Amino acid sequence: ASTCLDDLRAGVIRLRTYMMTLNELLKSQRYKVPIHLALGQECVPVVLRNLLTDQDQLYLTHRNVGYNLCWSSGLDEILEYYSLLHDDERLHMGSMNLTLPGSPIRYASSILGNNLPVAAGGALSMKLMEGRGVAFVVAGDGAIEEGAFYETLVFASSHNLPLVVVVENNDHSMTSRIADRRCGIDLL
């Protein structure tokens, strides 16, 4: 058990180091595309990197940099995509929609909550194809205020889909705290 924890700890430290380095590059205005860092949110990408199998799929938000870094060969690979230097022009879409080739990342969206119904569609496809995988979708606490969140939960439950919804709650959305914009929601 300690080896697993040591591996997770090392993954979190490596990811934080990559993002801090990327932050310094952003401050120097090296990139023309906006890159939304996920400093302080390193645990979920690292845990999912260790949890997902080859048959699983991952659906992300605009804060996908940590996930792409976890499945990359390192910071240099991701910097190629952000610099638009990569040969595959389909990947020249900026940071908010990057889905690293060879990773389980199937979709990333800058539209709040948009990845939720897309993930449900992916889970439905997996079920119909009789696959063994699970669709994982990551959303922030702001996305749970969208109708797509509830519609996705109802659809996934009604069709018994292999879908796991991970909510990263950092108590902020649209520059406001949860208590400043809505009542509490018990997700358990």
Say whether pLDDT at 172 is over 70: no
Distance CA 145, CA 112 (A): 10
Which pLDDT tens digit goes with each residue over 53-104? Answer: 999 999 998 888 999 999 999 999 888 888 777 676 666 666 778 888 889 9
- CA quadruple 170, 173, 177, 178: dihedral positive or negative? negative
In this predicted model, what pLDDT tens digit does every residue of 118-162 receive, in sequence order?
A: 999 999 999 999 888 999 999 988 888 788 999 999 999 999 999
Both structure tokens of 17: 């180091």
pLDDT of residue 111 exceeding 90, the answer is no
* Residues 170, 41 contacting (CB under 8 angstroms): yes
The confidence score (pLDDT) of residue 110 equals 82
0.85 surpassed by pTM? yes
At 57 the three-state DSSP class reads strand
